[in-house]
Chains A and B, each alone.
Chain A
Amino acid sequence: MEWETVIGLEVHVSLSTKSKLFSGSSTEFGAQPNTQASIFDCALPGTLPVFNEEALRMAVRFGVAIGAEIGKRSVFDRKNYFYPDLPKGYQVTQLDFPTVGKGALTVTLADGSEKIIGVTRAHIEENAGKSLHEEFSGMSGIDLNRAGEPLLEIVSEPEITCAEEAVAYLKKLHTIIRYLDISDAIMAQGSMRCDVNVSIRPKGATELGTRAEIKNINSFRFVEKAIHSEVARQQEILEDGGRIIQETRRYNADKDETSSMRSKEVANDYRYFPEPDLLPVVIDDEYIAAVTAQLPELPDARKARFIEDYSLSNYDAGVLVSSRELAEYYEIVATASGDSKLAANWVSQDLLGLLNKHNWEIADSPIQAVRLATLIARIKDNTISGKIAKTVFESMISDESDVDAIIESKGLKQVTDSGEIEKLVLEVIEKNPAQVQQYKDGKEQVIGFLVGQCMQLSKGKANPAQVNELLREKMQ
Chain B
Amino acid sequence: MINSTVAEISAALAAGDISSVEITQAYLDRIATLNGELNAFITVCEDSALLAAKAADEARANGLDSPLLGIPLAHKDIFCTKDILTTCGSRMLHNFVSPYNATVVERFNDAGTVLLGKTNMDEFAMGSSNETSFFGDVKNPWNTECVPGGSSGGSAAAVAADLCAMATGTDTGGSIRQPAAFCGVTGMKPSYGRVSRWGMIAFASSLDQAGPLAKSAEDAALMLNVMSGLDKKDSTSIDRPIEDFTASLNQPLKGIRIGIPKQHFAEGLSREVEQAVRDALTEYEKLGAIIKEVDLTNSHLSVSAYYVVAPAEASANLSRFDGVRYGYRCEDPVNLEDMYKRTRSEGFGEEVKRRIMIGTYALSAGFYDAYYRKAQKIRRLIKDDFDRAFTEVDVIIGPTSPHTAFKLGSKSDPVSMYLEDIYTIAVNLAGLPAASIPVGIANGLPMGMQIIGKYFDEAKILNVAHQFQQHTDWHKQKSTAITAASGES
Contact = CB atoms under 8 A, between A and B. Distances in A.
Contacts of A47: 198-199
Nearest to A268: B365
Interface residues of A, number: 29
Interface string A266-306: 00010111001111000000000000000000000000000
Interface in B319-378: 319-322, 324-326, 336, 340, 360, 363-365, 368, 372
Contacts of A118: none
A101 interface: no
Interface stretch (A7-15, A38-46, A152-160, A329-337): A38-46
Given A80-B363, A84-B324, A45 B316 contact: no
Contacts of B312: 273
B200 interface: yes
B201 A90 contact: no
A48 B233 contact: yes
B99 interface: yes
A88 interface: yes
B206 interface: yes
A42 B198 CA distance: 15
A46 B102 contact: yes
Contacts of A142: 324-325
B429 interface: no
Contacts of A46: 79-80, 98, 102, 197-202
A84 B198 CA distance: 24
B98 A44 contact: yes
A44 B198 contact: no
A277 B204 CA distance: 10
B448 to A, nearest CB: 28
A80 B322 CA distance: 13
Given A80-B316, A80-B363, A48 B235 contact: yes
A96 to B, nearest CB: 11
Interface size class, chain B:
35 or more
Given A45-B86, A46-B200, A51 B235 contact: yes
Contacts of B86: 45
Contacts, number: 100
Contacts of A140: 336
B388 interface: no
A411 interface: no
Contacts of B390: none
Given A142-B324, A269-B364, A277-B205, A49 B235 contact: yes
A383 B43 CA distance: 87
B360 A271 contact: yes
Given A46-B80, A84-B336, A89-B322, A39 B372 contact: no
B235 A50 contact: yes
A34 to B, nearest CB: 10
Contacts of B368: 271-273
B232 interface: yes
A142 B324 CA distance: 9
Contact of B99 (A39, A82, A88): A39
Nearest to B102: A46
B319 A80 contact: yes
B114 to A, nearest CB: 22
Contact of B316 (A42, A51, A269, A273): A273
Contacts of A276: 204-206, 236, 313
A279 B232 contact: no
B439 interface: no
Contacts of A277: 202, 205, 235-236
Interface string A131-147: 00000000010100000
A24 to B, nearest CB: 10
A172 interface: no
B234 interface: yes
Interface string A84-115: 10011110000000000000000000000000
A382 B145 CA distance: 107
26 contacts: A39-B100, A43-B320, A44-B80, A44-B99, A44-B326, A45-B80, A45-B86, A45-B98, A45-B320, A46-B98, A46-B199, A78-B316, A80-B316, A80-B363, A82-B322, A82-B340, A84-B322, A87-B320, A269-B365, A271-B315, A271-B316, A271-B360, A271-B363, A271-B365, A277-B236, A278-B235
Interface of A: 39, 42-51, 78, 80, 82, 84, 87-90, 140, 142, 269, 271-273, 276-279
Interface of B: 79-80, 86, 88, 93, 96, 98-100, 102, 197-202, 204-206, 232-236, 312-313, 315-316, 318-322, 324-326, 336, 340, 360, 363-365, 368, 372
Given A46-B98, A89-B322, 8 more contacts: A48-B197, A80-B316, A82-B322, A89-B319, A269-B365, A271-B364, A273-B312, A273-B363
